[in-house]
Every structure is written in C-alpha cells, then in structure tokens.
Structure 1
Amino acid sequence: MDRQLSELLMEPGGEFENFTRMSLADFEYLLNIVSPMISKKDTSMRQAITPKIRLAITLRYLATGDSFKSLHYLFKISSEIISRIVPEVCAALNKALKDEIKMPSTTDEWIEIEKGFRDKFPHAIGAIDEKHVVIKCPDHTGSEYYNYKRTFSIVLLAVVDSKYRFIFCDIGSQGRISDGGILRNSVLWKNICENKMNFPPPCPLPGLNVDLPYVFLGDGAFALSENLMKPYPGDHKLNTPKRIFNETLSRSRVLSENTFGILTSRFRFFKKPIELMPEKVTQLTMTCVLLHNFLMKSSSSKNIYNPSGTLDKCDNGVFIEGAWRQEVPQNCGIRCVPHIARRSPISATKIRDNFTEYFVNLRNK
C-alpha cells in the first residue's frame, strides 16, 4: 500500500488532493506532527502499518464517509483494524491541532473579530449556530439512544468568525435536550453570565446616544439575550424596521451556514447518518472541525473543496442557496435545529430595538 500511495502522490491533476481533501504539503505536515503518536513497532509476525498509511486511511474515511469495509478493499487492511486505526489517528490529530480553535480572551482580540463583521453588523463578534449530527442507532443500545426512527443526534454548538473559521466548538449534547438548553448548559454561556469573556465595553453606534453591547448573531433556534441577537419573529413587510433588522442580521450570520457548508463539502463523513457509537462520533466530529480550521489557514489547501463563489448569500432580503448545498445529500448527517418561539427579556428586546433604529437610520441616509 505504501507503493500505491507513493504512485498516487506522483499522479498529475490533483488526484492526491481528491483523495485526502488537502495538499501534499499539508498532509506531510500533519504526518510529521502525529507520527510519534501513531507509530507502531514491527513484530516477528508482521510489519506494522506505517504512520503514512494510518493517516491516509483516516483522512480518506473523513473525506468520503466510506464504510470500513469499502476502505478494506482500497487499502487491503481488515475492517476491524481500520476501525481501530481511525479513532487512534483522530485522537492524535485532536491533540496535535487543539490550538486551531481558540476563543478570543482579550478585548483587542474580540475587536479583531468584530472588524470582519463591522461593515454589515457593527458590534457583532461571531455568528453562533447549532447543528444536529445524526447517528444511526448502534445495535443493542438501551432507551437512552433509541427512538422509533432508529436515529438520534448529538449537537454541534459553534461560533464562527468572518473568515469561515470556528472560534468556539462544543460537541456532544444529546439532540433531545431543548435547543435553548444546549447553549445555556455550555461553557460559553456560563462564561458570558459570569462576565469572563472580556468583551469590549458597550459603546454607542454612530447617530445613537445609547451604549450597545457586543453580540453574537443567531437564528430563531436561540433565545434573545443581551449578548445574542436573533431575528424578530414573524413575516414583516418590506422596508419596515423589523424587516430591515432581520435582513441585516441574515446577511451577516449567513457566515455560519457557509462554514458548515464548507465543512460538509470537504468531509463527506457527514453525508449520511453515522454508524458509530456517539463517543466516537464526537471525537471524529472534533477532528473534522480542527482540520477545517487548519486547512482554512493553509495557502496550499484553502481552496480544495472550499466552494468559493458558490456560498449562500442574502440579496435584498432574499436568501439564495449556494451551490455547495447541491453537493451535500438531502439526508445529510448534519441537520438544522428547528426554530422555537421564546419570550425575550425586556433588556434584550430594547437592545435589539436600538440596533434596529441604527440600521433604519443607516438605510435612510
């Protein structure tokens, strides 16, 4: 298999990039940092599978979502061994790449995030989203994972910046928990409530004489709060203040949908309900997120399976789906969280109204 992989490296026309969803340079970089953690010793009975093959198997699995049996035919390694290799390599990648996701910890770092949103939604410091990672119920599980559809989900809670990179990621809450409860049970929400985030202090926007806080942008699945803006519920007429606010927010937070679009286009592991135990799905999902951030910063891999120019956008209040959605099957293993109506705190409602006043004034200039 080493010889076959070497031949693949020599193929013209991007064959290696198609195989692993990354450039050869990035593959070799990852191989260098994880080799000490995934190397095995030869025995008197057989030679150990090399780190290069172990990494290639894992990346191929994440890139295609092929079954272990299919990978057995490709790599000539038993399905049982592949089923052990993939989690071991993912654990090594998670350890090596753990710093690829980093929440800002200072006011200056939050301001840098805000600069990417400033032209569309000033004081925004990230787009927040929740996705259900759907799992096919493993055999012989109890009622905790069973329902009549034979599937359940874990939830991926994430905050992304304007460069389609994750700055926070929490994976593993069961999808049956209320969606508002997922955020409120997270470390992120705990730190917000305890004022540990070091957000920039509230300040006025041009033309307003009231201080407005820095906020995350969410959709209807979230509860409105002083640091999280969501759309006004209902269908509002064109050019009314609430419609103007909703359009502005949608144009800004489409970043999170596109980030998940790039993730699922690059890692077809998510193309259908995943037939693994939830602990492994959590681990492998984190690997995909870390690799996504690593590859988005890479000059040689950034545009490999990154559907640049074919992303979602919002034009005059009309949502236009990007072409990436056609690359991802309808029964994709990552699904949206439903919108749920909730009563909002008066203070948060007032903040949203103040943002609305700013956007209305801006449009009327």
Structure 2
Amino acid sequence: MRDWIGRRPELGLYDRLMVELRNEDPRAFQNFMRMPPAMFDEIVQRLTPALSKETTNWRAPLDPGLKVALSLRHHASGAKYREMQFGWKVPHNTISLVLRVVCAAIVDEFRHGLLAPPQTAAEWRQISDNWMNSWNFPHVIGAIDSKHIACKSPANVRSDYFNFKGFFSVILLAVVTSDYKFLWIDVSGKGSSSDVHIYNASDLREGLQNNDIIGFPQLYLTFWWEMMLSHSGPT
C-alpha cells in the first residue's frame, strides 16, 4: 500500500472532513452528501450487514460508512474515480468495485419499500390530490422525464448508445410524485433512443393500455387514452 493511502484515517475526507461537517455545520454536510446526517446514518446502518467484511492478515476492510460515502459523493458530484482517490485516499480501482457493491446493496435493501406502487384506487387518488394541493395540477398521477447516464462505449453497438449530447449513455426514464419520490423507473433505454420510443416499449405503457395496473382509477385511464389519441407520444 502506498504511504499516502495508509494515512486515510488521519487525512481522508471520510475521517476528517465529514466528521468536521457533522459536528460543526450539518447544512454543509447535507450539501456534501445530498442528505442530512441522520439519513446518512440510517442508510449506513441498514447497509452495514451487506457491506461488512472480515479483517484479514493482509489488510483491514473499508468501513461500511466510507463505502456509502464514496458512492453517494460520486453520484452527487460525477467526479471520476482517479480524481476521488486522492481526497478519499482509496485507490481508484477499489472505488470502482465499491460503487458496484454499494449500488447492489441499496437496491436489495430499499427497493421494496421505496418503489412500492399504490395498490388501491384511494392511494392513486391521494397521489393525484397531492399534485393538486402542491402544484395546482388536476388529474395528475406523476411527472415523467428522462436522464442520460454516461457509460463506456459498449462493444459493437457504439451508435446505439451515442446520444445527441455527444457522449455514450443509458437512459433513465422515470415517473415521480409531487414530492419528488420515484413512482416508476426504466433504465433499459439506449442513449440514441427518444423518450417516446422508450415509453412506448415500457411495461408502464403496456400496463396502462391493458388496464393491468392494480387499483389505477378508471378516470385517469380515460384521460390517458384521450392523450394517446390526440398526440403522437406522451406529453
């Protein structure tokens, strides 16, 4: 191990800066991690069983909190692994492995609770009422939009993933509620695809068309059909 990496407990961002922010400036901590200290601690606590490793004769494992902090900061800032390694004092190749493990652990731990769709008409109507109360939008279930997630160029299909912004990407298409919570997501889109193309190939459109979404009010299904008949794609 390089000497500067070995000084992680004394000089690394996780053991120094984040401790200072937590104790002295919680708002700065929230800006750095994109969440308050209490939420960060809850995530670390819930992911610790999946992220913990045994200490060996070769080296001590990374702290689960450090793994979570690395992952959150990368997603918040978009910084490259080779840039992050100096401040966090974690080798770039280790960071690349940590992020994969943390993302998988987050999905396993939180998906059933955070991506649980409404099951009754009353729950769907409550989502619609929240849109009306918060934004004065009637008869709305969710806002839909897409985000390009940069990726390495896949072999043999470069043009499929090259987007109009000039880089390779996969597309996250999502529906959110009035308070910015994800209601539905699709991450199968190739960078060159349009929002309409991804939506038309999604299980969301199929569920609406076949009336297979549990508890979905007939009133909103009628609005959806009227929209589809009057537009070439979703608005």
Q: What is the distance in 2 between the residues matched to 1:137 and 1:153?
A: 8
Q: Which residue of 2 aligns with 1:97?
A: 110
2:120 counterpart of 1:106: yes
* Conservation of the 8 A alpha-carbon contact between 1:137 and 1:145: no
Structure 2: gaps of 5 or more residues: 1-7, 10-14
Aligned length: 214
RMSD (Å) for aligned C-alpha atoms: 2.9
> Is the partner of 1:190 in helix, strand or coil?
helix
Which amino acid in the other structure matches residue 100 of structure 1?
L
Change (3 A) 1:27 1:152: same
* Conservation of the 8 A alpha-carbon contact between 1:132 and 1:153: no
* Conservation of the 8 A alpha-carbon contact between 2:163 and 2:169: no
Q: Which residue of 1 aligns with 2:3?
A: none
Question: What CA deviation, in whole Å up to 9, does each residue of 1:103-157 have, x standing for no partner?
Answer: 222111111111123463433222222x24152544xx43312459862332222
Displacement of 1:176 after TM fit?
Answer: 2.6
* Conservation of the 8 A alpha-carbon contact between 1:199 and 1:214: no
Q: What is the distance in 1 between the residues matched to 2:163 and 2:194?
A: 19
> Is the partner of 1:14 in helix, strand or coil?
helix
Displacement of 1:46 after TM fit?
Answer: 1.1
Q: What is the distance in 2 between the residues matched to 1:73 and 1:90?
A: 22
Correspondence list, 1:173-322, <5 A: 173-197=189-213, 198-202=215-219, 213=221, 215=223, 226=225, 228=227
* Conservation of the 8 A alpha-carbon contact between 2:149 and 2:172: no
Q: What is the distance in 2 between the residues matched to 1:213 and 1:101?
A: 21
> Is the partner of 2:157 in helix, strand or coil?
coil
Displacement of 1:42 after TM fit?
Answer: 0.9
TM-score, with normalisation over the residues of structure 2? 0.78
Displacement of 1:8 after TM fit?
Answer: 4.2
Q: Which has the higher helix share?
A: 2
Displacement of 1:175 after TM fit?
Answer: 3.1
User: % of aligned pairs identical?
Assistant: 29
> Is the partner of 1:196 in helix, strand or coil?
coil
Q: What is the distance in 2 between the residues matched to 1:32 and 1:157?
A: 30
Q: What is the distance in 1 between the residues matched to 2:28 and 2:56?
A: 33
Q: What is the distance in 1 between the residues matched to 2:102 and 2:151?
A: 23
Q: Which residue of 1 aligns with 2:177?
A: 161
Q: Which residue of 2 aligns with 1:323?
A: none
2:134 counterpart of 1:135: no
Which amino acid in the other structure matches residue 103 of structure 1?
P
Q: What is the distance in 2 between the residues matched to 1:121 and 1:148?
A: 32
Q: What is the distance in 2 between the residues matched to 1:13 and 1:118?
A: 33
Q: Which residue of 2 aligns with 1:55?
A: 68
Displacement of 1:93 after TM fit?
Answer: 1.2
Q: What is the distance in 2 between the residues matched to 1:80 and 1:123?
A: 48
TM-score, with normalisation over the residues of structure 1? 0.52
Q: What is the distance in 2 between the residues matched to 1:7 and 1:167?
A: 36
Displacement of 1:188 after TM fit?
Answer: 0.9
Displacement of 1:6 after TM fit?
Answer: 3.4
Q: What is the distance in 2 between the residues matched to 1:37 and 1:94?
A: 11
> Is the partner of 2:179 in helix, strand or coil?
coil
- Higher RCO (C-alpha under 8 Å, 6+ residues apart): 1
Which amino acid in the other structure matches residue 153 of structure 1?
S
Q: Which residue of 2 aligns with 1:126?
A: 142
Question: What CA deviation, in whole Å up to 9, does each residue of 1:24-81 have, x standing for no partner?
Answer: 1111111110000011111101111111111111111112111111211111111111
